[in-house]
Every structure is written in C-alpha cells, then in structure tokens.
Structure 1
C-alpha cells in the first residue's frame, strides 16, 4: 500500500518528487483527473500506483486518500480560474481528514506575499497580496494551516519562485530555449534585465522528500529559493554561449500583454502578476537549509544545458515520427 500520495502528480513538479521518492525504493500513489496523463508519466514505474479522482465527489477524494499517511498537494487550475484553489483545497482536506491522512504538504508560490517589502524575503514577511491570484493562494494556505492549528492534520507549505528545466513549457525561459535550439524568435515577458530567481525543477523532488520526513517542518511555511539571483537576460546570454546562436528576442511588457490578452486568456491573466517582473521578489531559504541541511541547487549554466538538451531531444523525436 502506498503511504505517500502525490495529488496533481502529472506535472513537472510531481514528476520530480516522484523520481526522488522512487529513488529510495518507496512505493507512491499518483493522483489526477486524467488516467492517460498519469500512465504516460508513471506507467513504466512499478513503484507507482495510479489513481484517478473527482474532487467534486467526497467519496472519490476519500478513496484516493485511503491508506495514505502523507499527501503532497500540487493540484493545478487554469490560470484564469484561481478562484478554484481554495475550493479544491477545502474538498481535498475534508476527504483526507476523513480518510485518516496524517500529513499534507502544499507546493505553494510567492503570490501570497504581495509586493516585497524587504530583500530578500523571509518566511516572516507580511502576507499582504494585492492581486486576486495572491488572495486566492493565501486563502488556500490559510485553510491548510488552520486545519493544522485545529489538530485535524499536520500541514506545511513549501513556497517556490518561478522554475525552469527539461520539459517545463510554462517557464518564462521556455520559448527562449526553443529559439536557441530551433531558431526563430524568442517571445519573452519583460523587462528581462530585472533581478529574478529560478528553481531548477529536478532540484525540487529531493527537498520535498526530505521535508515530509522531517517532523519539525509541519506547522510552518518554508521558502525554497533559486540557485542565485540572476536575470532573464543573463540566462539568454548563457543559452547563446552554449549554442553559439544569437537569439532574436521579442519582449512583451505590461501594455503588450494587455493587447495579446484580448485574444489569449493566459496572457490576459499575466497582466495582474506583472509586478513580479518589475519589482523583484527574491526569497531567503536559510531557514529551510537549517532545517534539512544543505540543498543541492543546480547552477544555472548546468540547468540551461539540460534544458536545451531536452528541447533538442524532443525536436529529434518529432523529426523521426
């Protein structure tokens, strides 16, 4: 019986966590709405137990969490449907508590902080989100941590900044990586010369695997910062250095996002969060490192190398089909 369940597992963060758990020979359960997506991601791993769920059905949530001790929550929603985050968390909590789940870890974001009032931002930074998405993520966190305070379940949150890596198509850097390998124009969201940080997705899994096995982690919220402070421009330069190809950039600012958003709902929703591009929010994760020890953070040059290699590999596969 799998004692650990990954809800919303089919995404890149879920696959990183599954790899870290599987590397220890530990069985795990992957839970999602689409059986096809789960089988595509985990069907070859004998340690993976594949389970589908319907979050609107309490019985389905309880069945998906039956026998589980620890639940890792990564359930995503469309970028234009953030009002679903608190609702889905509430339904998952109710089912998990009813099923006797002991622990839950939420993979969170920087959105609940709102605008940075200090640099770097520690976990004690005020949570004063000025955006709808930030308020929805804060409510999600509050529901979870209140369940912990009430003694119903042990809970913790791991907040991540933007991330990148092989297969991460939602990254700010993805289109630049494609252009670096395939040519063409790299569409980016700017300004690209402001301070930023990125987490390399394969680095997330080992941190989560340690965190859920650290009793002192529960009842608190933790930051996981990027490898270092950089800029998108610096990472584009690294792509150019590694490929020998000068990139053609098309950088969209807030005004351009609004125009594109007339036809693209994802881009329309990015306007609200554009402040993160102009008002850097850089996290301090020294508390996390004191808790679980040194954290392996892939240097940006190596992360870019692996990201470009993955894009090249996908291109080669498509050429053979």
Structure 2
C-alpha cells in the first residue's frame, strides 16, 4: 500500500484529494497542528516548518500533495516561505511533490488558449509570487532535491470547496435561479470541478515513476463563460452582474476583498486551459459535464 501525505488536509482541495486517494486504496496522512484530519485520514501532528519532525512523524511516504491555502491578504509575505517549507517536507521524505498551480502566472495579457508551453507574464503581485514558487520548485527538481508535478487548474468548485468563487458569489443563488457575474457574460473562464481534479491528482500519482523530475500539466476542466454557465444550469436561470465599485467599497472594510481587486482581470480576459498530453499520460481525464457539476452544488 502506497502512502500520501496531504498538506492542508482540512482545506477544501486537501479534503477532496485526501478522500480520492483513500477511495483508490492509498494510506492517507494529513498534516495538522492538532485534532483530526478527516474521515479515514491519519493525523500527523507536526510543524510544517520543521521538515525533519514531519518526516519522523510520517515514516515512509510516496507522495506529498500540497493543498496549502495561503489567505489572499498575506500572500505577499507568507506564500513563498510556506511553499518552500512544503518542498522541504517532500525532500525530507524523499517523496514526489504534487502542487496545484493556477492561471495567475499568465497575467492580464494572456492568450485565450493556455497550454503548458505558454510563457509566464504575470501582472499582479500574486501572479509574480506564483511564478517564483514554480521557479523554486523547478530549480529544486533540476538539482535532484525533490521531484514535482505541477497540475494547473482554473477556479475550483464543487465537493468541499465551499469558499470558492463559484459557491460564494457566482452560483450562490443558483437554487433561486440566478448566476452572478463579476465580469462580462461572454468571457471564457477556466473552471475545475473539484472531484474531477482530485481524481486526476490520484491518477498522476499512480504513474509518477514514469515521469520526469519536473512536470507541468494543465487540467482543462470546464472552460465556460457566464452565459454558458447559466445555460448549463437550466432554461430559467437568469444572469446578473456585480458592479466593480462593490468590490472597492467592500475592500475598505474587508482585507480579503481588498486583496481580491487586483485579480478581477480574470473575469475580463478570456482564458481556457488546454493540455493534450495529460490524457496521454493518465488515460481519459476525469470530466463531469457542466450541467451535472452545477447540480451538485445546488
């Protein structure tokens, strides 16, 4: 039986990935400071920033999944150190590191089609830090310190990802027949249904020994505009738009909303993740039709 250590096991992505590994028959460990780590997950009580202590507490581990969630307001100071610590843990364990990337790296002038070959051109603080994180992981892989798989995805939704853009704003009132857009109605946006993404992580882990020291894959998920979301949600679903000034006003009182403002270009610039190679590596990529995925969050 192989073992996976999930960092951020109590977060939305971490929970979904941990349970996907458990269903696949893996032994699942979850790094937590105290308490439990979730159903069927063995809690590891250790400090992320003490890699040796984590390694001692875990024993043999094959995969480290990086489900850490750094709050937007502290990204500029805490993100890079935290992800460096995660890489230290994987290195101490001699395990493959799997890191979920984002589209932030490509910036506000990104092309519609985002394949793994598209160069990075970040235009925000969070985008530049994302690029720094991946550069750090690539350098460590090249030096033979820790092997990494980057699985880039769009905005996650579904499953335990209850703090997502989809469930907190866009489809918050879907049961009442309404989709709320932070941008234009016909702007293609990259979405990732979390149960599908989690299953893809497991399948990559199952074939990781056949992969190189540093690999990047794109999860194409459900690339869809707001109008397409509304159409998929049902014939009577209406579209409305949240005015931009609302974000600015809320940002005066809410640090999270203030930190969100620089990312609003993602709702104005069409983008879709694409990757033919992923299916060549893992076989058919898990994909739930948008209609069914939206039904699951109502």
Length-normalised TM-score, structure 2? 0.88
Match of 2:158 in 1: 165
Structure 1 segment 168-179 matched on structure 2, within 5 A: 168-174=161-167, 175-179=169-173
Pairing of 1:297-308 with structure 2 (within 5 A) = 297-308=287-298
How far off its partner does 1:258 sit? 1.7
Root mean square deviation, CA, Å: 2.4
- Cα drift, residue 129 of structure 1: 1.0
Q: Unpaired runs of 5+ in structure 1?
A: 309-321
Pair 1:103 & 2:93 matched: no
Question: What runs of 5+ residues in structure 2 fail to find an aligned partner?
Answer: none
Note the 1:238-253 alignment, pairs <5 A.
238-241=232-235, 247=238, 249-253=240-244
Which of the numbers 76, 87, 93 marks the counterpart of 2:81? 87
Where does residue 69 of structure 1 map in the other structure? 62
Flag the 1:34–1:282 CA change in 2: closer, same or farther, 3 A: farther
Residues 229-271 of structure 1: per-residue CA shift (max 9 Å, x gap)? 3212332344353xx5x55745132x33222211121211121
Structure 1 runs, 4 residues or longer, greater than 6 Å off:
none
Q: Secondary structure at the match of 2:229?
A: helix
Deviations 1:205-245, CA, capped at 9 Å, x for gaps: 22111112222254121111123x3212332344353xx5x
SS at match of 1:156: strand
Distance 1:285 1:268, change over 3 A: same
CA distance in 2, matches of 1:15, 1:250: 31
Q: Give 2:280's aligned residue.
A: 290
**SS of match in other structure, 1:307:** coil
Q: Secondary structure of 1:291's match?
A: helix
Cα distance in 2, alignment partners of residues 19 and 260 from structure 1: 35
Task: Tell me which residue corresponds to 1:220.
Answer: 215
Given that residues 185 and 250 in structure 1 are in contact (C-alpha distance below 8 angstroms), is that contact kept between their aligned partners in structure 2? no
Contact 1:173 1:232 survives alignment (8 Å): no
Q: Contact between 1:191 and 1:251, CA under 8 Å: does it hold in 2?
A: no
TM-score scaled by length of structure 1? 0.82
Partner of 2:29: 29
